[in-house]
Structure 1
Amino acid sequence: MTRPVGAGAAVTRRLIRKEARGDLPLLACLGAVVLVLTVLCAWAPAFAGGQEDRALRQRVDAAQAQAPLISLSTTPQVFDTVPPAVDAAGLLDAGRTLTEQLTGPAARHVTVTGGSYDYDQASLISPRPPGPANTSTRLALSYLPSARAHLRYVSGRPPADQTPLGTAPQIGLSQATAQALGVRAGSRLTVEFAKTLGVQSEPPHAQLLVSGVYRTSAARDDFWSGRETLEQPSRYPAEHSAGTVLAVRGLVGLDAADLLAGAGVAGPRMTWQLRADLSGAALDRARALTGPLSHYSADLSDDLCQGADPLTGDLACHIGGQATGPLLVIDSLTPLLAAFTAQDQQARELATFAVDALAAVALATVTVAVRLLLRRRQTHLRLQRARGASTLRLVLLRCAVAWPVVAVAALLGWTAGQALAPSGTSGSPHPMTAALIASAVGLTLPLMTWLATREPRRPGRLRRSRRNIAVGRRVVLELTVLSATAAGVVALRSQGPDGILGAVPALVALTVVLVLLRCYPFVLRLVLRQARRSRGTVGFIGAARAAHDAPATGLALFVLVLTLGTAVFGGLVDRTIDDGLATGAAWTAGADASATVAGTVTPPSDTRTTGTRTALQHLYTLDLAGQADGAEISPVAVIALDPEQLAAVAPASPLAATLLARLPPSTDSRADANAPLPCLLSPDLRAREHTGGFTGKVVPDGQRPRDLVFTPVGTLTTAELHDPLLGPVTAQTPAGTPLLITTTKAARLIPPQPSGSTVLLLNGRTPATASPAELRSTAAKELGPLARIRVRSETLSALRADGLTRGLGTIYTTTSILAALSGLLALVLELTLTSHERSRTTSFLRTLGLGGTQAGALHFLQLLPLALTSAVGGTLLGLLEPRLMAQTLDLRQFTGGPTRPALHTDFSLAVALVAGVIALILAAAVTEAVLARRRGLGAVLRLD
């Protein structure tokens, strides 16, 4: 009988629909895995990019609050016109066009926020400052319109931007500067400026009118950082004579440059501040800026400068019709982006461990699902194979059932992920990764189907030889895994993780599983040997079945070990960063709070009434010479402090205890300049002078130079150098500078320095006095409104709110949850796959008289070794991974502080995870036992 045309196709379609309905639960598992992973491919990169953008904006905003990240400066050529003139208003307005030379979209992301100009220090001729110690006075002039919001004039008025023709330029001085000069509002200053070579034979003179005296207001945005001389004058030793030079700074109006040019003064340094707009996709915008900024200076010179100045030989430029010198571009955004890129790269490297572990667990889940699917279809596949179906036909049949499910799940996951992904971030979806995931899941089914239905090998080989071949293959496979793991660990420790080496933890997990599978049966055989001696049969049979099923549970063991290990590792990273943030905040603030101000300041107020302990640290930079060999050591950071104050601020500090024990207590008696100063040294400074002390030359106010002798009484240990009490003061010195700590006696002998600073440490005695507002108020009263104040609690909150830190925690939390769900699914499928053998054994025993309670105990004993082994292996993996990559696992970039934070395992999380896994497996045993007891005797007898 001839089959109608198309009848075979109809039969095939009916067979596909029938098998699809039968395989629907397992196909749903495959679809769920693909759906979740493709959602992550579309959503996670955009979300992570948003966290990176937020972190970069935090750093840029904090940096731009202190000073502009990008600035342009030049000097106008005053003597190119007759009479000499400077159109300051025109130059500052023309600066808005300077961003046009930035190419591409960079010009839209940079705006000119304002301009200013500054004159170099000039000699103040009259009035002479009071006091015989000041031999001369240097005055610097600045036009800084942005400072007006931070000033309050207590007498007079601000300098006018437009003064009547023929009048003197106006200047505003701070209260401290006016008192140091002995002037007030309405006083006149005579200033001598430097002469211009080739144009003038004598230095030009000009008169300035003090229009007002101001007082600075406390600024929370660090506006005064680097501008302290506008409020406080500084003093430094004269170069060629005894005495002190008084350096002051004042504010002038807009037209002061033109008035001074008329008096023959060379042009000031004009500066334009540029602000980078990094809203939205901050990281992409910053990357778009770095390229144009790298050749911005050359582009400006090509566009605005032609020829050379006949006097100086420099390029002659024209901005807004005004002849100027060459343009200087200061770019601080590029170094900031480079530092952020290093931190971001570290975060991405850490994230690859979690992502790769999730991918490995998902692939294992897919493998278990396909194994269970093929086990359910094993009878049908054998029947079809016996009826003449080819291996290719069976593989295509399975693909026709599964591939549409995988494709639909991938499309739905990708669509949902794009809908959920935030827009306007620097991250973009990964379609290639999603396609690879769908392809890997789709190809797993035909590959395993082919392995299950391929032609059997021809008989003829001895069973012993086949067994030897199988054992040899297993040995080769295990040796390959061990070699790959060792090579991966070595590469990871030498060069750090990347997209490929991020899979090393999965290899380590596989190695741990192989080791456990080798030890697992041996331990069970020992238990079995003890169980033989007991009278009961349940323990013996349970141990025997567990030992027999040990090789078959390898995949479930791998899933559990990898899931547990990744979760424990994620908890370790989170705990280490959290503990390290507290250490970093303590190092930044020094105590509950710290305040830093330029110069040497000794506040007279008594903080005992405020309930706050304080300690002063004076920082100086000196050139020292060894007494034994006379070798010069420059520069050396010298810190003068009172050990008693330091011990009161931090009673538990090892540094304070050492200083209190080694350095003599402070006294109020007059310092003897000839007495040696006891000190403690950093190890690098001690290594330069093993036996003797050090000598440093200083020039006190109005006196002859004298030598200070420092006598070492000890060497600071590494722990003492990393004490948080030194954090704020060492932040003022370049890395690697030798350190010397001495008593406050040195502060009475060393004159003030322009490069020196004072740090005030504050510690509240009660929670009320430790509040940020109270600490800031006390610090401002002690060191003035220009002090840069850092509060430990605020610093810690800012560190914890950092986008990179929170993003890394979110990635590990999300991947750990998804890996746990995927591992749970894989475990359920694996237990379902192996439940037939357990139920078969229980059925035989129940026909022989085994009771229901004993059957439940048997299920429990068969799965207990798997639970314990997975718990031990997962915990071991979570503790082993960070130790293997300790050389590359540097979390200091997230925490701050002087050293790498110590790795801290979250043992409470580890115990909770292990208990959860054991409870899960034992719950599965209870469920199997309950289901077995509900079966009737007929079902039990027919189970085989």
Structure 2
Amino acid sequence: MTRTAGAGAAVTPRLIRKETRGDLPMLVCLAVLVLVVTALCAWAPALAGRQEDRALRQRVDAAQAHVPLISLSTTAEVFNTDPPAVDMATLLGSGRTLAEHLGGPAAHRLTYAGGGSYDYNQASLTSPLPPGPADTSTKLAISYLPSARTHLRYVSGHAPADRTPLGTAPQIGLSQATARALGVRSGSRLTLEFTRTPEVQSAPPRAVLLVSGIYRTVATADGFWTGRETLDQPLRYPQERSAGTVLAVRGLVGLDAADLLAGAGVAGPRVTWEMRADLSGAALDQARALTGPLSRYSADLSAALCLGGDWITGDISCQVGGQATGSLLVADSLTPLLAAFTAQDHQARALAAFAVDALAAVGLATSAVAVRLLLRRRQAHLRLQRARGASTARLVLLRCAVAWPVVLIAALLGWAAGRALAPTGASGSPQPVPAALAAAVVALTVPLMTWLAVREPRRPGRLRRSRRNITVGRRVVLESTVLLAATAGVVALRSQGPDGILGAVPVLVALAVVLVLLRIYPLVLRVVLRQARRGRGAVGFIGAARAAHDAPATGLALFVLVLTLGTAVFGGLVQRTISDGLATGAAWSTGADASAVAAGTVPPAGTTTTAPGTPTATGIRTALQHLHSLDLVGQADGAVISSVAVITVDPRQLAAIAPKSPLAHALLSGLATAPGTLTGPSATLPSFLSPGLRASEHTGGFTSTVLAHGQPRVSLIIEPAGTLTAAELRDPLLGPVTALIPAGTPMLITTAGAEDLMPQQSSGSTVLLLKGDSPATAGPAALRSAAAGALGPLARISVRSQTLSALRADGLTQGIGTIYTAASILAALSGLLALALELTLTSHERGRTTSYLRTLGLGGKEAGAVHFLQLLPLAVASAMGGTLLGLLEPRLMAGTLDLRQFTGGPAQPALRTDYSLTLALAAGVTALILAAAATETVLARRRRLGAVLRLT
């Protein structure tokens, strides 16, 4: 072949501009795809980081509302000198200096909340004596707690003075319940006997305190009273090693009480400084930056403030604010909180990776369709250039010279736009590597597909059959590789859990599903063809034949549609599962419409005159649960089981607030007979046991010796009435009370009649479940008022509706929903574009077929039917494949989808398919393809005879 002039000329700017004008529609399409992908790489990570920061701040704020996340404590060194060798005001004011020792930027993330506090161990109250014969001794613990002043109100007298006049006794404030239990009032004097310091004091030091005022607590929503309930309510427990009951109380003193007690020789108090974590802005990055310094904080403080240990006692001597103290201890609750959040965030990132990888695959597949259509539109031009002598390399270079600048400019513009829209000050940052990789893949698609389109075909001949065998073999190898890779990915995902690499497994599974569909639905079409041959009309046969002929060519469009639909179905399943799981988690957290938890055994006010389960005057039903801890002894083998959680309930109350509860039904039938009246030294308690406790004693029951307040010792005989099943252990009625029990603790449930036999313990708790009988009584305000009236202002109250709202507002939960919604919308738009391009790519062949048939006398309606029949298999295969993929993926990865971290509750939430969304998506894909067929039919009808003849 003779080359024409200019066939081998260089690629000039003029030639590039000429080619660009011809490729302009497809280049615009490529530019939009690259721009969107690179913009997402710059914008989405920052947005996700801001959502993670918000979620972490929510958890930190919720935790700090109850207890400080970071605290420092030490023991003040006290010497019996005059004046005493301690200046408590200076010592307590040194907290800010201690925070600065954290070092570097981390110190700015800790906020020191005012002055510190101090506490003394329990001292014996020698005067006045307990007013009743039931209490044989009294223990009084005193504390200086300045933050308590805004949480209580004095009803008699005044708060303890921080500056006591010289020569007067330290002042103390007591709660109304404590003053009543001690039989004192404002102006009374308390004589305390403290523990002596070994080898320093020969006798226990004594001190006299003046009761300056009586206070009552004020209910607050900040969780201040959590763990401080003894400031309001006294506690009674059996005397160790002797008969009798100890009355344990606690009071508040002023700032200089430690100075005055030091003059009396009382050993130094435990001093505590509380600090708050201030995670504003990039909270996740700041928290991670804190963990390292916090792990070394105690050692750094010791190195900076401590001189070494006493060679006799081994005690470390430190100097804080010029005051001698013991060693400094750091209590860090932020690091465990961050570890738990990191695990949840890792799961959220894994779920997000499935959607992001699917979106990336859809975008790249769409770009491949766009390049393919570009080359098809220029096919005649490429053939002409090839016939004039242009080499394959020159044609590939020319296409690259046209497309690569467009891709580069679109990538830069997309990156700039994404950076401009990305939120600043968040933990997430733009990802340039994925953006560059996506742009490079799109850019390399152009030369690869151009080379495949313009390369010189091999000479036909005797090797045609072997070439066909080689092609079939390559296809078999390729499909087998994809299937094996998808299987290996699923196995690795189930065994190792999700990570950055295994996030692409759903894409491999989608590709495997498409390959299976491409193998199956041509076989189905052949069956349809056999049936169509037997019919009289030619429309069905022709439509099925064309669909079978076009099946391999529509593989890329089928992949895009299946992956897009599968991702949307998968996202709908995840969001539906989380949404239903949130309701279950809220029900588990509160047990009923609301719950209230109080420390100790608290008899609810106003419930003694109502029958079990009967609604109160406010129309609210209540059920009471008391939690105790006992040591049990097996009757058969005598083995001791320590710290068994004992829950006392009235089954009728539980059945009244939850009639359909499996736990209430089991307890109502198994504990119908209440324990008999105590007539001797023992009492039998029918009980339901946890599986672990029942397994430790297969044949008999258990015994335990207890000493209740004001009663002689009693031997309890635990008689098993049944074993709690898994469904009963997961019953929401047990949620609030089991939250107070450490994981793995043996547990038993017995009737409320055993409550009078149980001793009051420091580890005991009271749980009140509340259920409103009408919408008015089920409101948060009514439930909170009823709970506070029953258990007092210090009860921790949770309302199910408010808990559910808080769970739904969680940053990670909302982030997952946002990612899947956005990814599904973008994938749908990309899939729509790919479908439009693919149909445009194959429309010429369908138009030619229709034109041939029209010249042979086929009518307009029959031509439209052929259009529908040609595209109907693609629509059905896409809808079925996408739905199958969306339903199959979460089941294949069920072991790795730990959605309980987002929902709460005792068990992994069951996967729930959003069938309405699935049907809507499948119908939408089918309608979209059929709408394209209708459009082509309308266009075909408008062609005149000349256009029809030209197509033929």
Task: Bin the TM-score by the shorter chain.
Answer: over 0.9
Shift of residue 460, structure 1, vs aligned partner:
4.1
Partner Cα distance (1:293, 1:53) in 2: 20
Identify the residue that residue 374 of structure 1 maps to in structure 2: 375
Identify the residue that residue 729 of structure 1 maps to in structure 2: 737
Partner Cα distance (2:305, 2:380) in 1: 85
SS of 1:899's equivalent?
coil
SS of 1:610's equivalent?
coil
Aligned residue identity for 1:826: A
Partner Cα distance (2:143, 2:310) in 1: 26
Identify the residue that residue 154 of structure 1 maps to in structure 2: 155
Partner Cα distance (1:425, 1:305) in 2: 39
Identify the residue that residue 867 of structure 1 maps to in structure 2: 875
Aligned residue identity for 1:58: Q
Cα deviation, 1:473-493, whole Å, max 9, x if unaligned, reads 111111111111111111000
Q: Does 1:88 align with 2:88?
A: yes
Identify the residue that residue 713 of structure 2 maps to in structure 1: 705
Identify the residue that residue 75 of structure 2 maps to in structure 1: 75
CA contact (8 A) 1:316 1:325 kept: yes
Partner Cα distance (2:35, 2:699) in 1: 72
Identify the residue that residue 325 of structure 1 maps to in structure 2: 326
Cα deviation, 1:736-759, whole Å, max 9, x if unaligned, reads 111100001211101111100000
SS of 1:697's equivalent?
strand
Partner Cα distance (1:829, 1:651) in 2: 59
Using a 3 Å threshold, how does the CA distance of structure 1 residues 391 and 867 change in structure 2: closer, same or farther? same
Unpaired runs of 5+ residues, structure 1, are none
CA contact (8 A) 1:118 1:143 kept: yes
Superposed CA RMSD in Å reads 1.6
Aligned match for 2:918, one of 895, 907, 910: 910
Shift of residue 704, structure 1, vs aligned partner:
3.7
Partner Cα distance (1:75, 1:652) in 2: 54
Partner Cα distance (1:159, 1:753) in 2: 29
Aligned match for 1:678, one of 686, 694, 711: 686
Shift of residue 17, structure 1, vs aligned partner:
1.7
Instruction: Please say which of residues 574-583 and 647-656 is displaced more in the overlay.
Output: 647-656
Partner Cα distance (1:501, 1:7) in 2: 49
Partner Cα distance (1:745, 1:242) in 2: 24
SS of 2:214's equivalent?
strand
- 1:795-944 alignment, distance < 5 Å: 795-944=803-952
Aligned residue identity for 1:197: P
Identify the residue that residue 304 of structure 2 maps to in structure 1: 303
SS of 1:830's equivalent?
helix
Aligned residue identity for 1:818: L
Instruction: Please say which of residues 310-319 and 671-680 is displaced more in the overlay.
Output: 671-680
Aligned residue identity for 2:801: S
CA contact (8 A) 1:70 1:275 kept: yes
Q: Does 1:33 align with 2:24?
A: no
Aligned residue identity for 1:795: T
CA contact (8 A) 2:352 2:819 kept: yes
Q: Does 1:232 align with 2:215?
A: no
Identify the residue that residue 702 of structure 2 maps to in structure 1: 694
Instruction: Please say which of residues 125-134 and 459-468 is displaced more in the overlay.
Output: 459-468
TM-score (norm 1): 0.98
Partner Cα distance (1:518, 1:460) in 2: 29
Q: Does 1:514 align with 2:515?
A: yes
Partner Cα distance (2:267, 2:453) in 1: 91
Using a 3 Å threshold, how does the CA distance of structure 1 residues 671 and 563 change in structure 2: closer, same or farther? farther
CA contact (8 A) 1:365 1:822 kept: yes
Partner Cα distance (1:703, 1:242) in 2: 10
Instruction: Please say which of residues 48-57 and 669-678 is displaced more in the overlay.
Output: 669-678
Partner Cα distance (1:500, 1:50) in 2: 24
SS of 2:172's equivalent?
strand
Shift of residue 7, structure 1, vs aligned partner:
13
SS of 2:617's equivalent?
helix
Aligned residue identity for 1:292: P
Q: Does 1:630 align with 2:631?
A: no
CA contact (8 A) 2:7 2:390 kept: no
Q: Identity, % of aligned pairs?
A: 77
Identify the residue that residue 458 of structure 2 maps to in structure 1: 457
Partner Cα distance (2:306, 2:14) in 1: 82
Identify the residue that residue 725 of structure 2 maps to in structure 1: 717
Partner Cα distance (2:449, 2:879) in 1: 29
- 1:91-490 alignment, distance < 5 Å: 91-114=91-114, 115-309=116-310, 312-490=313-491
Shift of residue 604, structure 1, vs aligned partner:
3.8
Using a 3 Å threshold, how does the CA distance of structure 1 residues 609 and 384 change in structure 2: closer, same or farther? same
Q: Does 1:493 align with 2:501?
A: no
Q: Does 1:63 align with 2:63?
A: yes
SS of 1:336's equivalent?
helix
Shift of residue 240, structure 1, vs aligned partner:
1.1
CA contact (8 A) 1:621 1:756 kept: yes
CA contact (8 A) 1:242 1:705 kept: no
Partner Cα distance (2:731, 2:446) in 1: 59
Using a 3 Å threshold, how does the CA distance of structure 1 residues 669 and 154 change in structure 2: closer, same or farther? farther
Identify the residue that residue 555 of structure 2 maps to in structure 1: 554
CA contact (8 A) 1:671 1:745 kept: no
Cα deviation, 1:505-524, whole Å, max 9, x if unaligned, reads 01101111111111111111
Shift of residue 705, structure 1, vs aligned partner:
2.6
CA contact (8 A) 2:630 2:645 kept: yes
Using a 3 Å threshold, how does the CA distance of structure 1 residues 113 and 9 change in structure 2: closer, same or farther? farther
Partner Cα distance (2:11, 2:297) in 1: 72
Aligned residue identity for 2:878: S
Identify the residue that residue 611 of structure 2 maps to in structure 1: none
Instruction: Please say which of residues 553-562 and 5-14 is displaced more in the overlay.
Output: 5-14
Shift of residue 895, structure 1, vs aligned partner:
0.4
CA contact (8 A) 1:69 1:331 kept: yes
Shift of residue 385, structure 1, vs aligned partner:
1.2
Instruction: Please say which of residues 790-799 and 385-394 is displaced more in the overlay.
Output: 385-394
Shift of residue 452, structure 1, vs aligned partner:
1.3
Cα deviation, 1:555-592, whole Å, max 9, x if unaligned, reads 11111110010000000000000000000000000100
SS of 2:770's equivalent?
strand
Q: Does 1:744 align with 2:752?
A: yes
What is the aligned length?
940
Partner Cα distance (1:684, 1:889) in 2: 28
Aligned match for 2:761, one of 736, 740, 753: 753
Aligned residue identity for 1:910: T
Aligned residue identity for 2:809: A
Partner Cα distance (1:860, 1:118) in 2: 84
SS of 2:683's equivalent?
coil
CA contact (8 A) 1:198 1:311 kept: no
Shift of residue 8, structure 1, vs aligned partner:
9.3
Aligned match for 1:654, one of 647, 659, 662: 662
Shift of residue 673, structure 1, vs aligned partner:
6.0
Partner Cα distance (2:131, 2:209) in 1: 19
Partner Cα distance (1:85, 1:925) in 2: 95
CA contact (8 A) 1:124 1:139 kept: yes
Shift of residue 447, structure 1, vs aligned partner:
1.0
Aligned match for 1:617, one of 612, 622, 625: 625
Identify the residue that residue 612 of structure 2 maps to in structure 1: none
Cα deviation, 1:761-797, whole Å, max 9, x if unaligned, reads 0000001101001100000000000000011001000
Aligned residue identity for 1:148: R
Partner Cα distance (1:314, 1:768) in 2: 62
CA contact (8 A) 1:170 1:210 kept: yes
Partner Cα distance (1:635, 1:10) in 2: 88
Partner Cα distance (2:334, 2:826) in 1: 38
Aligned residue identity for 1:100: E
Unpaired runs of 5+ residues, structure 2, are 608-614
Aligned residue identity for 1:221: D
